[in-house]
Amino acid sequence: MATNQDTLNSVIEKANTWLTDVYDEETREEVQRMLDQEDKTELIDSFYRDLEFGTGGLRGIMGAGCNRMNIYTVGAATQGLSNYLKKEFAHLDEIKVAIGHDCRNNSRLFSEKSAGIFAANGIKVYLFEDLRPTPELSFVIREYGCQSGIILTASHNPKEYNGYKAYWEDGSQIVGPHDVNIIEEVKKINAEDIQFEGNKELIEIIGEEVDQKFLEMVKTVSIAPEIVQKHKDLKIVFTPIHGTGVKLIPDAIKAFGFENVINVPEQDVVSGDFPTVVSPNPEETAAMDMAMKKGAEVDADVVMASDPDSDRLGVACKNDKGEFVIINGNQTALVFIYYIITRMKESNSLKGNEFIVKTIVSTEKIAEIAQKNGIEYFDVFTGFKYIAEVIRDYEGIKKYIGGGEESFGFMPADFVRDKDAVSSCALMAEIVAWAKDQGKSLYELLQDIYLEYGYSKEKMKYIVRQGKTGADEIQQMMVNFRNDPPKTLGGSKLAVVKDYADLTERNLLTGEENKINQKITSNVLQFFTEDGTKISVRPSGTEPKIKFYFEVVGELNSREEFDQVEKTAENKIDSIMDELDL
């Protein structure tokens, strides 16, 4: 087993290779500074491993070193992707890619360096002139007939991070077999293999003309323009939390016909330092706090936020006490699906070939709404690339009308093939107008959905276990759950176990065993009890975490009972956590 000294020696040896002329002067100086420091913690963190290009691309802290986001780790990813594209599309006269980036520090630098590398490999590049939302990058890949695309973003991670996401020709993040094949190409790349300087004539700067095409498509998401017209003065507070939504999301909401979008000036400042928040994540109350205060100040009908790359949205509305509260990602997806299906039924626009998609850890209420309305639904693994894969499988055969997951992401139309806060914010404003037209707030609309389809409460908890011992502990937890699942949960007998590692569904009450319909396996376990409780367990693919997703159901007979039913459900989830020693 390697000692700490062995690790340090290995790190120093690797760091010294970064002092050669292959690397620029700034990088060499930064590496030398870390080598000269008495405390070698920073040096070890920067060089103890290579930042891996995984199935979701790259994500890491920025800085010099092989375990950091910098022009060389980004360059290796782009060179590897270029090599793969040239093999995969060798039959084309011209291979084309699109590049976008968010507000993060170095995002522009990384995107320009990537453009140069693609061009050096003879690949045509469409590079956005400035920061743009991730969904617009997905859109432009399809609109311009590109074979691939990348966006430089670390989503809602803290300011020290940046990332690199790769897309395929359908505008979706890359799935198998291409994901694994690209990883293999990237692994082959050394710094001296990266061709940084390309033919600048192959790089075309794009901007406002694409924005207009994108916004025209966003307008097609509207289902009830006449309702919008009646309530065009709806008070909508929106914050981009310093990110890419600053221009296009207000423009999208206005394109629907709303005229009263109220901003949060301090958070309209585009900055990779995210000066007003600790974490730019709309799932967290602290990130939404300034917008909710503005909402209270102006008596807004709804408060919305997007994360830095505008793929996730956060929504807050007034509860029955007049306080602004965030509705969670499951509830957001539930409201979207309910509205889309209800409005399409009312307008007789359902043709019978429509479908929706949800992820397996998201609320089962979405599936129930679909089933009760005769709409086909698909369950997929976590990640919108799997939602996009279903759309691709049924292209031209079935019609996608919506899909989402519990982590504050929704995709209301298939001209984008990833989470889309631009279209979603505009559509959510329309839903609030629709509710208002019926004399309801968004909060009351959510309660009425529960009254019609039954109540559910969801909660997620994760446990962090660092290092190899932590990874072993997480692995052992999964083994224990598989070998010895709980007999009861929350006072209800365990009825069904789904194990996505071997795609087996076992009914413990009847002994029946079925195969789960998924293309690939995943290390996820699900437990369903007789009373409708659902618990999903999965180790994170990118962090030293194991995640537990809880959903319990209840009976709601009136809006007045909502608080009590919610409290009972929360207590039930807490007691199940205690049973599982969480």
Q: What is the DSSP string of 509-523?
A: TT--EEE---SS--S
Global pTM reads 0.95
Handedness of CA 57, 59, 62, 64 (dihedral sign): negative
pLDDT (tens digit per residue) in 398-436: 999 999 999 999 999 999 999 999 999 999 999 999 999
Reply yes or no on whether the pLDDT at 543 is more than 80: no
User: What amino acid positions are annotated as catalytic residues?
Assistant: 155
Helices 329-346 and 421-437 pack at an angle, to 10 degrees, of 60
Reply yes or no on whether the pLDDT at 393 is more than 50: yes
pLDDT (tens digit per residue) in 476-505: 999 999 999 999 999 999 999 999 999 999
Give the pLDDT confidence score for residue 544 in this predicted structure: 76
Give the pLDDT confidence score for residue 4 in this predicted structure: 78
DSSP 444: H
Count helices and strands in the chain by DSSP H and E runs: 18, 23
CA–CA gap between residue 284 and residue 108 (Å, rounded): 27
Mean pLDDT of 292-306: 98
Give the pLDDT confidence score for residue 465 in this predicted structure: 86
Residue 275 vs residues 243, 247, 268, 294: alpha-carbon distances, Å: 11, 19, 11, 18
Pairing of strands 455-464, 545-554: antiparallel
As beta bridge partners, residue 149 has 98, 167
3-state SS record for 296-345: HHHCCCEEEEECCCCCEEEEEEECCCCCEEEECHHHHHHHHHHHHHHHHH
Pairing of strands 124-128, 96-101: parallel
* 461 closest CA partner among 581, 567, 358, 332: 581
3-state SS record for 79-145: HHHHHHHHHHCCCCCCCEEEEEECCCCCHHHHHHHHHHHHHHCCCEEEEECCCCCHHHHHHHHHHCC
Neighbours of 475 (CB within 10 A): 14
Structural domains of the chain sorted by starting position, each given as residue range(s) with its CATH number in brackets:
1-48 (no CATH), 57-206 (3.40.120.10), 211-453 (3.40.120.10), 455-579 (3.30.310)
User: In degrees rounded to 5, what are phi and psi of residue 99?
Assistant: -130, 130
pLDDT (tens digit per residue) in 245-255: 999 999 999 99
Give the pLDDT confidence score for residue 3 in this predicted structure: 52
Cis geometry, peptide bond prior to residue 539 (ω within 30 degrees of 0):
no
pLDDT (tens digit per residue) in 37-93: 999 999 999 999 899 888 788 999 999 999 999 999 999 999 999 999 999 999 999
Mean pLDDT of 557-579: 96
What is the residue type of 257?
A: G
CA–CA gap between residue 409 and residue 253 (Å, rounded): 18
User: In degrees rounded to 5, what are phi and psi of residue 149?
Assistant: -165, 160
Report, in this order, helix, strand and coil percent for the chain, each rounded to 5.
Answer: 40, 20, 35
CB-CB contact of 43 with 67 (8 Å): no
Instruction: List the structure tokens of 42.
Output: 């920073």
Give the pLDDT confidence score for residue 542 in this predicted structure: 60
CA–CA gap between residue 411 and residue 386 (Å, rounded): 12
Q: State the burial class of residue 574 (Cβ atoms within 10 Å of its Cβ: 0-12, 13-18, 19+).
A: middle
Contacts of 186 (CB under 8 A, 6+ apart): 53, 76, 77, 79, 80, 81
Handedness of CA 344, 346, 348, 354 (dihedral sign): positive
pLDDT (tens digit per residue) in 211-245: 999 999 999 999 999 999 999 999 999 999 999 99
* 274 closest CA partner among 434, 157, 397, 404: 157
Residue 499 vs residues 88, 163, 271, 474: alpha-carbon distances, Å: 34, 31, 43, 16
Half-sphere exposure of 152 (CA within 13 A, CB side): 33
Q: Rounded mean pLDDT of the chain?
A: 95
Give the pLDDT confidence score for residue 313 in this predicted structure: 97
The 3-state DSSP class for residue 359 equals strand
Give the pLDDT confidence score for residue 541 in this predicted structure: 66
CB-CB contact of 123 with 78 (8 Å): no
Give the pLDDT confidence score for residue 56 in this predicted structure: 81
* 124 closest CA partner among 25, 204, 39: 204
CA–CA gap between residue 413 and residue 400 (Å, rounded): 7
Lowest mean pLDDT among 104-118, 179-193, 196-210, 463-477: 463-477
CA–CA gap between residue 388 and residue 141 (Å, rounded): 14
* 263 closest CA partner among 236, 231, 302: 236
pLDDT (tens digit per residue) in 134-176: 999 999 999 999 999 999 999 988 999 999 999 999 999 999 8
Q: With the CA atoms of 252, 256, 259 and 263 taken in that order, what torsion angle do they form, in degrees rounded to the nearest 10?
A: -30
Residue 1 pLDDT grade (very low, low, confident, very high; cuts 50, 70, 90): very low
Own/partner contacts of 377-382, CB < 8 Å, gap of 24 or more, are: 380/518, 381/500, 381/518, 381/520, 381/522, 381/524, 382/407, 382/538
User: In degrees rounded to 5, what are phi and psi of residue 180?
Assistant: -65, -40
